């Protein structure tokens, strides 16, 4: 089995794209005409919820798949609907995997030792049930929060090595208040630089044939100056870059995130793709999402060429 970084690299080359679609869908943002068409009065609310949430996201994935390398499922937008939403999440993960898309679970999970291992088992590893090993979500990669330290990250790193999966560690996030902690100075370095150094250390033992580590970093598109520092520390890691578009990140700043080969990034866009219909690109939401993803893919490619 190929390392995660190799699968990601191959997919980028095959698709000529570094674009990842963030699936952050709430029912209230699904077009009214779609809900009216598929809402069944003979079913209860949760049955309608599950069907409509799955069907909308499935159609988005179908519409944009040629323009993206993968999908990033944001846990909160499914967990808000309790186990009904988690059921839909599981179905969508399987659907995306069957389309050979890279699947990233964006749950920013972490806890100490055995609890972290439980999260890792669920999303990128295996869980033992009655002496049988079962892969439940079986995502390609997961986002994690490093605040607890190495003992909370180690179970994920071990499963990345064991199952050839990927990890994206929060290093410098796109939100304005990231500076509250991430920009604190420690030994003449920013805290996010210290975290990046740890990411480099954790990823040293799981590199693929192309030389990239399976342990990468999340660096917000709104942080180009920080990206230069992070890239100098992580020359062989993929950077997952959220924040382009609605959050204020600029496509033209992506050049600061690239490695020496003008590679090593994947760029996430959520609302600009899944709710593209709100910008009146096209009356049909699927065509709107296709056009938005195609335009963004081309815009990114031009900016990083």
Q: Could you give the CA distance from residue 296 to residue 288 in angstroms, rounded to a whole number?
A: 12
Looking from the CA of 15 toward its CB, the CA atoms found within 13 Å total 26
Give catalytic status of residue 108 as yes or no: yes
Of the candidates 240, 288, 63, which has an alpha carbon nearest to the alpha carbon of residue 144? 240
Q: Could you give the CA distance from residue 228 to residue 259 in angstroms, rounded to a whole number?
A: 10
Q: Are 241 and 255 in contact (CB under 8 A)?
A: no
**Helix, strand counts (H, E) of the chain:** 12, 12
Q: Are 161 and 205 in contact (CB under 8 A)?
A: yes
Angle, CA of 205, 11 and 78, to the nearest 5°: 85
Catalytic residue among 108, 164, 172, 297: 108
Question: Which residues are annotated as catalytic?
Answer: 108
């Amino acid at each position: 089995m190929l390392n995660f970084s190799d699968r990601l690299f191959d997919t980028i080359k095959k698709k000529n794209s570094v674009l990842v679609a963030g699936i952050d869908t709430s029912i209230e943002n699904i077009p009214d005409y779609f809900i009216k068409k598929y809402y069944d009065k003979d079913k209860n609310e949760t049955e309608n919820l599950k069907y409509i949430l799955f069907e909308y996201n499935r159609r988005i994935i179908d519409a944009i798949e040629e323009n993206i390398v993968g999908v990033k499922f944001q846990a909160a937008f499914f967990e808000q609907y309790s186990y009904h939403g988690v059921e839909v999440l599981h179905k969508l993960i399987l659907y995306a995997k069957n389309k050979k898309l890279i699947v990233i679970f964006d749950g920013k999970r972490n806890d100490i030792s055995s609890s972290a291992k439980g999260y890792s088992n669920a999303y990128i590893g295996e869980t033992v049930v009655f002496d049988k090993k079962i892969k439940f979500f079986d995502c390609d990669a997961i986002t994690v929060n490093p605040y607890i330290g190495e003992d909370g990250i180690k179970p994920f790193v071990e499963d990345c090595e064991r199952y050839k999966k990927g990890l994206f560690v929060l290093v410098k996030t796109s939100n304005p208040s990231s500076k509250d902690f991430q920009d604190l100075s420690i030994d003449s370095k920013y805290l996010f630089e210290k975290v990046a150094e740890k990411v480099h250390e954790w990823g040293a033992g799981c590199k693929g044939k192309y030389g990239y580590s399976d342990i990468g970093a999340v660096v917000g598109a709104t942080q180009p100056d920080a990206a230069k520092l992070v890239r100098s520390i992580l020359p062989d890691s993929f950077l997952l870059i959220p924040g382009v578009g609605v959050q204020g990140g600029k496509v033209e700043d992506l050049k600061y995130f690239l490695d020496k080969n003008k590679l090593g990034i994947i760029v996430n866009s959520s609302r600009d793709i899944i709710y593209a219909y709100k910008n009146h690109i096209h009356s049909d939401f699927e065509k709107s999402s296709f056009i938005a993803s195609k335009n963004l893919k081309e815009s990114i490619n031009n900016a990083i060429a």
